[in-house]
Structure 1
Amino acid sequence: MQIDKTELAAQVKQTGANIIHTIAAFTGEQFNSTPSYGGWTAGQVAEHLLLSAGVAEVIAGRTSPTTDRQPDTHLAMIAGVFLDFSTKLPSPDYIIPAEGYYDKEEMLNKIKLVWDKIGEGTRLLDLSATCLDFEFPGVGPMTRLEWIWFYVWHTQRHLHQLKNIYASVSCAHADRSA
């Protein structure tokens, strides 16, 4: 299977830019405010994305040639799960963010670095190789192609969440100012 990196590279670039733009729109206070409906703050969502950013290290880590399946075998399943915004997905304990204050600028800088690494990996690495340093829960080893698409779709899912949080905390802030 020949992998066309063009679409993936465009999605990596666009999703990285969108998450940075969306987080930048929050004030420091809004970034750490719980939405009216409960749940995570924008700061906690950003921390969750950083906790799951080990993808950048996984794709740069140990690999082996993928010989037992097509490199894109798991893409439809991953997309089906992470792009279904009508379902709430539980996070594994190791990527649940702590409660507390998060510095927006510090988080933005870290997120920019993650997306730079993922963009570089998309351009330079053999995306058909199977990553050996971490297995996706319930799936097993995944290719670089699958890991990168996972991070894109996982981030797009949380972009949707961040937009909802922004609407809630912006409205609450406007109500207090009135």
Structure 2
Amino acid sequence: MSVDVVENLTETRNRLLQEISGLSDEQLNRKPDQGTWSIAQVCHHLYLSESVFTQAIIYGLNKSNERKAERQPVQLAVDRTQKANAPDIVVPGNDPLDSQQIKELLNNSRNQFFEFYNHLEDKSILAEKSTKHPLFGYTPLDQWVDLIYLHEERHIEQIKEIKSLL
């Protein structure tokens, strides 16, 4: 595994866990308003997204067509001035979650990703294959990997905003 990928995934996840540590279950589940997710919902969305990203990467690797996509401006995923609606498959539920449940979900999706990624012998294949991303279109699979931590960075900023409103 690329050292940068591991460092970025680890650093971002540690920052996320730091942002939510010490919050009560009530704070985690309170929505500042009807149109805003709670912190627990943001974390549930991150779990769902990482799981879907992992499946998309596996799908892209197993596709028979060898479509090589152009590099996409995935850094834009961090820009919170650019609003995007989450696809239905990664919209969080409304059920409350406690901090232990949130940590378990986040650990599960990260372990699922690492289990796949660590068993991938030739990681350079990720730059050669692609699959369609809902926002960026056909995107090289190595950029899907980057999107895991970039997407998480975006939502860390959202969590900070939500905390300021609680």
User: Judging changes above 3 Å, is the alpha-carbon distance between structure 1 residues 14 and 127 closer, same or farther for their aligned structure 2 residues?
Assistant: farther
CA RMSD of aligned residues (A): 2.9
Q: 1:165 aligns with which of 157, 162, 165?
A: 162
SS of equivalent residue, structure 1 residue 110: helix
After superposition, give the CA deviation of every residue in 1:33-72 in whole Å (9 maximum; x if it has no partner).
11269511011111111221222233345616996647x7
Which residue does the alignment assign to 1:78? 74
Within a 5 Å distance, the mapping from 1:79-158 to structure 2 comes to 79-80=75-76, 82-119=77-114, 121-125=116-120, 126-129=123-126, 130=129, 135-137=132-134, 139-158=136-155
Question: After the TM superposition, which segments of 4 or more aligned residues of structure 1 sit over 6 Å from their partners?
Answer: none
- Structure 1, unaligned runs of 5 or more: 170-178
Which residue does the alignment assign to 2:32? 35
After superposition, give the CA deviation of every residue in 1:68-98 in whole Å (9 maximum; x if it has no partner).
647x712xx1212x12122322111222222
1:110 and 1:98 map into 2 onto residues whose CA distance is 13
TM-score, normalization: structure 2?
Answer: 0.78
Question: Is 1:15 the counterpart of 2:5 in the alignment?
Answer: no
Based on CA coordinates, which of the two structures has the bigger radius of gyration? 1
User: Judging changes above 3 Å, is the alpha-carbon distance between structure 1 residues 149 and 111 closer, same or farther for their aligned structure 2 residues?
Assistant: same
2:102 and 2:86 map into 1 onto residues whose CA distance is 20
Which residue does the alignment assign to 2:56? 58
Letter in 1 for 2:104: N
SS of equivalent residue, structure 1 residue 91: coil
Count matched residues: 160
Shift of 1:151: 1.3
Contact kept, 8 Å, 2:40 with 2:97, in 1: the verdict is yes
Letter in 1 for 2:105: K
Letter in 2 for 1:109: E
2:78 and 2:85 map into 1 onto residues whose CA distance is 14
Letter in 1 for 2:57: I
1:140 and 1:85 map into 2 onto residues whose CA distance is 19
Contact kept, 8 Å, 1:131 with 1:142, in 2: the verdict is yes
Which residue does the alignment assign to 1:172? none
TM-score, normalization: structure 1?
Answer: 0.74
Letter in 2 for 1:137: P
